[in-house]
A and B are shown apart, each in its own frame.
Chain A
Amino acid sequence: MIALLVRELRLAVRAGGGALTGVLFFLAVVSVVPFGVGPDLNLLARIGPAMLWIGALLAMLLGLERLFQADREDGSLQLLLMSDYPLELVVLVKCLAHWLATGLPLIVATPIFGLMMNMEPALILAVIATLFAGTPAITFVGAVGAAVTVSLARGGLLIAILVLPLVVPVLIFGVTAAYGAVEDPAPFLPPFLLLCALTLFFSVLGPFAAAAMLRHAAD
């Protein structure tokens, strides 16, 4: 399993810089916002957490298409299916690797984008914490979408349509928790714990559903 994790990470880093593409896309989304709403720094600071979350969400969705497709094309998906490890565990490891390769760089890049949005350090920290807790859920749900569309030539857009409704709660609680950390009346802990609960829930549901689909798609 460790070997699989290392392999996935190597592939993600080497194959055209998948991690970097996500961060660049994140940068593109965040830098388009001021053009849309105007360069008012107070306004940007207020909508900053929401924009960072949306940018991260879209960047996460971007790379999901390749999660199983590349393996299917070169036949390694068959090998993974035939291995002794349960497929659910394989999917979980692949999700973790995908998150390490795309989610983590986004979180690392968040402080810089937070400064660009004129956010306070405390708020940036809150956004980082919520992204850290919430983005794995996006990967796990996305794995279901990726598994379902694995046999399609152009499944990327379809994944986004299928996955977006399911990650709406993640986005809601993530942004609520981020605001709750700095605004006084709003609490931080309840939405943050709900966010963690969502991630844990999807970490079970996602691999099982994706594995069930992959088993059938391989027949």
Chain B
Amino acid sequence: MQQMKAAPEIMSETSIKPASVWDYANPTRFLGLVDRILPAFVMLTIVSMAIGLWMAFSAPEDYQQGATVLIMFLHVPAAWLAMMVYTIMSVSALGTLVWRHPLADVSLRAAAPLGAAFTFLALITGSLWGKPMWGTWWVWDARLTSVLVLFIIYMGLIALSKAIEEPSVAARALAIITLVGFINIPIIKFSVDWWNTLHQPASVSRFDRPAMDVAFLYPLLVMALAYTLLFFTLHLMGMRNEILRRRIRSMKMQTARQAEGS
């Protein structure tokens, strides 16, 4: 509890210094930062999500796909986020293994369920989109299969994080498996280029210019921004919860030890 009281002074100190990742190695300082920036993140997420949805719904109907093109605004950002979250988790894994940053493991743990949720959303919306467009809910093509594999990897990571009690061992195990599983990310990204499949190739992140009309591109980009903000908001909240959960755990252990001693 004394740590909590000391927090304001530490916070004011860090607000003067230029911030580095190591300044926030102290969980209390990190919690202070989260408390300060979280409201802004929540606001930005709500605003951008509202604008994105409004733009998406006022976008013209596609001449081929009709109203189902709306699914794209939910599907594509979710798929991007599914890959981005895994990349962030891999960077966190490096943070655990190489730099031993104390919050890297917290970040990895908090991101795993979010990544799984975005992957699930991408799979479900893709399936709903595939039914009217391709005439089938699911095909075993390279992109779909590799995203499904990504989902299984997320699930395996979550199962692993629940299975190992000792936090430091769990952190190591999670980091190693995350890094090994990172092989899948380039496979997903380039699966549509390497194999001829039903899933269409990338139409936004191309070198020349996007193969998409601005009427669809701008809502899509705003939605992507909204999804990203949503992820960071939830990620910060998840990290805060994880830190608090660990404190509760150590407090419980302390009281148990004291009860044993008396």
Least CB distance, B175 to chain A, in whole angstroms? 9
B221 close to chain A: CB less than 8 A: no
* B169 in the interface (beta carbon within 8 A): yes
Asked if A14 is at the interface (CB within 8 A of a chain B CB), the reply is no
A161 at the interface (CB under 8 A from B): yes
A143 vs B153: C-alpha distance when bound (angstroms): 17
Asked whether B173 lies within 8 Å of A209 as measured between CB atoms, the reply is: no
Q: Max chain B CB contacts within 10 Å: which of A165, A209, A212?
A: A165
Contacts of A145 in B (CB 8 A): 177
The number of inter-chain residue pairs (CB within 8 angstroms) is: 59
Q: How far is the CB of A218 from chain B (nearest CB, A)?
A: 10
Smallest beta-carbon distance A210→chain B, Å: 8
Within 8 A of B (CB), among A139-171: 141, 144-145, 147-149, 151-152, 155, 158, 161-162, 164-166, 168-169
- In the bound complex, how far is the Cα of B33 from the Cα of A114, in angstroms? 63
A152 neighbours in B (Cβ, 8 Å): 163-164
Contacts of A144 in B (CB 8 A): 176-177, 180
User: In the complex, which residues of chain B have a beta carbon less than 8 angstroms from the beta carbon of A62?
Assistant: none
Does B172 belong to the interface (CB within 8 Å)? yes
State the CA gap A159–B152 with chains docked (Å).
12
Closest A residue to B152 by beta carbon equals A165
Complex Cα distance A175/B191, Å? 19
Q: Which residues of A contact B156 (CB under 8 A)?
A: 158, 161-162, 165
| Size range of the chain B interface in the assembly | 20 to 34
- Identify A217's interface contact among B97, B172, B177, B179, CB under 8 A: B172
A13 close to chain B: CB less than 8 A: no
Q: Are A217 and B160 in contact (CB under 8 A)?
A: no
| Residue pair A158, B97 in contact (C-beta under 8 Å) | no
- Indicate whether A213 reaches chain B with its CB closer than 8 angstroms: yes
Looking at the assembled complex, report how far the CB atom of B63 sits from the nearest CB atom of chain A, in whole angstroms.
37
- Judge if B95 is at the interface, Cβ distance under 8 Å: no
Most-contacted residue by chain A among B150, B169, B187 (CB, 10 A): B169
Assess whether A165 is in contact with B172, with CB atoms less than 8 Å apart: no
Check B160–A209 contact: CB distance below 8 A: no
Closest CB in chain B relative to A155 CB, distance in Å: 8
Chain B residues positioned under 8 Å from A158 (CB to CB): 156, 159-160, 163
Q: How far is the CA of A165 from the CA of B155 in the complex (A)?
A: 11
A161 pairs with B152, CB closer than 8 A: yes
Give chain A residues whose Cβ lies under 8 Å from the Cβ of B179: 209
Residues of A within 8 A of B184 (CB): 165
A76 shortest CB reach to chain B, Å: 20
Interface status of A205 (Cβ within 8 A of chain B): yes
Query: When the two chains form the complex, which single residue of B159, B176, B181 contacts A166, counting CB atoms closer than 8 Å?
Result: B181
Chain A residues numbered 194-219 whose CB sits less than 8 Å from any CB in chain B: 205, 209, 212-213, 216-217
Closest partner residue, chain A, to B174 (CB atom): A148
Closest-CB distance, A63 to chain B (whole angstroms):
19
Contacts of A212 in B (CB 8 A): 97, 172, 176
Chain A residues whose CB sits within 8 angstroms of the CB of B163 once the complex forms: 149, 152, 155, 158
List B contacts of A209 (CB < 8 A): 176, 179-180
Q: Closest chain B residue to A213 by CB distance?
A: B176
Interface residues of B in 146-167 (CB under 8 A from A): 149-150, 152-153, 155-156, 159-160, 163-164, 166
Q: Indicate whether B259 reaches chain A with its CB closer than 8 angstroms.
A: no
Residue of B nearest to A169 (CB): B187
**Bound state CA distance, A155 and B156, in angstroms?**
12
Bound-state CA distance A216–B177 (Å) is 14
With A158-B160, A161-B152, A166-B180 already in contact, 7 other A-B pairs whose C-beta atoms are closer than 8 Å? A148-B160, A164-B152, A165-B184, A212-B172, A212-B176, A213-B172, A213-B173
- What are 17 A-B contacts with C-beta separation under 8 Å? A144-B177, A144-B180, A147-B176, A148-B173, A149-B163, A151-B164, A152-B163, A155-B163, A161-B152, A164-B152, A165-B150, A166-B180, A209-B176, A212-B172, A212-B176, A213-B173, A213-B176
Q: Which residues of A contact B (CB under 8 A)?
A: 141, 144-145, 147-149, 151-152, 155, 158, 161-162, 164-166, 168-169, 205, 209, 212-213, 216-217
